C-alpha cells in the first residue's frame, strides 16, 4: 500500500469511536423529543393554545434532559475528563430556588430515558441518577470556547414552531477540534420518506405514510444522518429499529449528493422562516440562474439533510445584516454535505469558519450549499452580479 493511501486510511479511521457514540446520543435525543412532540400535538388537538415557552413546559424539560443525556452518554463511553460541550442554557438556572419543580422534572425525565439506553446499544446506569449527578452532567454543557481546544457542540431544536406543531425540526451534535469540524450528526425525527413531502405539513405526511405500503426501507420513526472528516462518506439510519430486519448496531445506508448539475432540473431549498432570511432575493437569484422548480420549504437543518440525501441540489440563505449565524445550526450539516460530495461556502466561495466561537463571525453575506461545483459556481457568479439590489 502506498504511503499516501495509508495516510488516507489512517485519517478515515480517526473519530470512529466518537462518531459511533455521537450517533447513539442523537438517537436517544430524538427518541425523547418524539415522545414530547407527540404529547404536545395531542394537547393541541384538545386545547386552543399550547403553552410551551414557560420554564416549566414540556419543551424546556426536554431541552435540559437532552443536554444531560448527551453529556451522560459521552461521559460513559469516552470518559468525563475529555468532555466539553457547548450548548444553549446556563445550568445555574436550574439551581435557583424557584426552579426546584423544573429540576425535579428534568431528573425524572433523564432517568426514564436512560432506562431505555440498551435499545440504543448503551449500557444502562446501575442506579437512578440523583439531582447532584444530573447537575454535574449539565455542568459539562457550560464550556467556554477556546480556539485551540476540542469541543462538542450540541444544537437544540432548530425550529421550535415546527416542533410544537408536529412538523419538521432537527437536533445536532458535532465535534470541533482547533476550529475544524471533524464529525457531525443530525437527528431528524420527522424527516419524510419522499422529497416531495418536504413542502407538506407533517400532519399530512403522517396520513400519507399510513397509506404507503410498509417495506424494509420504510423508516417511519425518523432518522439520523452523519459523517466524519476525511471519510468521503455520509450515512443515514433510523432513530428506532422498528422493522424486525433491523439488527443493532446499525442498519445504515450510505447517502450521497445528487448528480444533477442542470439548474432547470435542480431542486432548490429555502428556509420556512422569513424573519432571518430574504426570500425575495433568493427567489430572484434562483430565477436568474435557471432554478425554475418550486422551492422546497425546509425547516431548520432539513436543507442540509435534503442535499446530502440527494433530495435537493441547492440551498441559499441570506440573513439580515444584524443576524448572527450560530455554529450549532450549521456545523453538523456542513461536514455531512461535504463528506457526501457537496459544497458549502459563504458567498465569496470560502469555507465557513468555525474557529471564532459561538457564531460564524465574519460570514460574507450568506451561505450557499450545492450538490456540485457546476451549480455552486453559477450561483456564486449570480450573487456577485445582483448583490447591489438585495437590500441586505
Spatial strand order of the sheet with 234-238 comes to: 85-86, 150-155, 171-177, 180-188, 223-228, 234-238, 253-255
Enumerate residues 6+ apart whose C-beta is below 8 A from 236: 223, 224, 225, 226, 252, 253, 255, 309
Residue pair 298/315 in contact (Cβ under 8 Å)? The answer is: yes
Is residue 299 within 8 A of residue 167, CB to CB? The reply is yes
- The phi and psi torsions of 287 (rounded to 5 degrees) equal -65, -40
In the block, residue with C-alpha cell 465535534: 175
Q: Which residues contact 198 (CB under 8 A, 6 or more apart)?
A: 168, 192, 269, 296, 297, 298, 302, 306, 311, 312
Q: How far is CA 125 from CA 50, 118, 288, in A?
A: 34, 10, 57
Q: Which residues, listed in sequence order, are joined to residue 153 by a DSSP beta bridge? A: 86, 174
Question: Distance between CA atoms of 151 and 338, rounded to whole angstroms?
Answer: 20
* Binding site listing: 157-158, 329
- CA within 13 Å, CB half, 313: 23
CA distance 373 to 261: 8
Q: Which residues are annotated as a binding site for Mg(2+)?
A: 157-158, 329
Spatial contact of 195 and 351, defined as CB atoms under 8 Å apart: no
Q: What are phi and psi of 376, to 5 degrees?
A: -60, -45
**Could you give the strand order of the β-sheet that contains 343-346, starting from the edge strand earlier in sequence?**
296-298, 268-271, 314-317, 367-370, 343-346
Three-state DSSP class for residue 242: coil
Nearest CA among 148, 124, 100, 378 for reference residue 266: 378
Helix (H) or strand (E) holding 185: strand 180-188
Q: Which of 255, 247, 236 is nearest to 191 (CA)?
A: 236
Closest CA to 136 of 156, 102, 101, 107: 107
Amino acid at each position: 500500500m502506498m504511503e499516501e493511501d495509508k495516510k488516507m486510511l489512517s485519517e478515515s479511521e480517526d473519530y470512529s469511536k466518537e462518531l459511533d457514540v455521537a450517533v447513539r446520543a442523537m438517537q436517544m435525543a430524538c427518541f425523547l423529543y418524539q415522545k414530547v412532540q407527540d404529547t404536545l400535538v395531542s394537547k393541541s388537538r384538545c386545547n386552543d393554545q399550547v403553552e410551551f415557552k414557560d420554564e416549566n413546559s414540556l419543551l424546556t424539560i426536554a431541552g435540559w434532559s437532552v443536554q444531560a443525556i448527551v453529556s451522560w452518554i459521552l461521559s460513559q463511553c469516552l470518559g468525563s475528563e475529555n468532555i466539553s460541550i457547548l450548548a444553549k442554557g446556563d445550568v445555574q438556572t436550574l439551581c435557583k430556588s424557584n426552579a426546584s419543580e423544573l429540576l425535579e422534572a428534568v431528573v425524572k425525565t433523564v432517568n426514564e430515558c436512560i432506562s431505555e439506553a440498551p435499545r440504543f446499544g448503551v449500557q444502562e446506569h446501575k442506579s437512578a441518577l440523583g439531582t447532584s449527578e444530573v447537575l454535574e452532567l449539565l455542568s459539562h454543557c457550560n464550556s467556554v470556547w477556546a480556539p485551540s481546544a476540542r469541543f462538542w457542540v450540541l444544537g437544540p431544536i432548530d425550529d421550535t414552531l415546527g416542533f410544537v406543531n408536529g412538523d419538521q425540526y432537527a437536533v445536532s451534535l458535532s465535534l470541533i477540534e482547533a476550529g475544524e469540524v471533524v464529525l457531525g450528526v443530525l437527528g431528524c425525527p420527522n424527516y419524510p420518506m419522499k422529497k416531495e413531502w418536504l413542502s407538506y405539513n407533517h400532519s399530512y405526511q403522517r396520513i400519507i405514510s399510513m397509506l404507503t405500503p410498509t417495506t424494509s426501507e420504510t423508516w417511519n420513526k425518523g432518522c439520523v444522518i452523519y459523517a466524519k472528516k476525511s471519510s468521503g462518506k455520509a450515512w443515514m439510519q433510523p432513530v428506532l429499529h422498528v422493522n424486525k430486519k433491523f439488527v443493532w448496531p446499525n442498519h445504515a445506508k450510505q447517502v450521497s449528493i445528487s448528480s444533477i448539475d442542470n439548474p432547470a432540473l435542480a431542486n432548490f431549498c429555502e428556509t420556512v422562516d422569513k424573519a432571518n432570511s430574504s426570500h425575495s432575493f433568493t427567489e430572484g437569484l434562483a430565477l436568474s440562474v435557471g432554478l425554475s422548480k418550486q422551492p422546497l420549504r425546509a425547516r431548520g437543518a432539513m436543507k442540509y439533510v435534503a442535499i446530502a440525501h440527494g433530495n435537493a441540489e441547492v440551498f441559499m440563505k441570506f440573513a439580515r445584516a444584524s443576524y448572527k449565524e450560530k455554529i450549532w445550526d450549521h456545523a453538523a450539516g456542513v461536514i455531512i454535505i461535504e463528506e457526501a460530495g457537496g459544497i458549502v461556502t459563504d458567498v465569496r466561495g470560502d469555507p465557513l469558519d468555525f474557529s471564532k466561537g459561538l457564531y460564524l463571525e465574519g460570514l460574507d453575506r450568506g451561505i450557499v450549499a450545492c450538490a456540485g461545483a457546476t451549480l455552486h459556481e453559477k450561483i456564486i457568479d449570480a450573487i456577485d452580479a445582483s448583490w447591489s439590489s438585495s437590500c441586505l
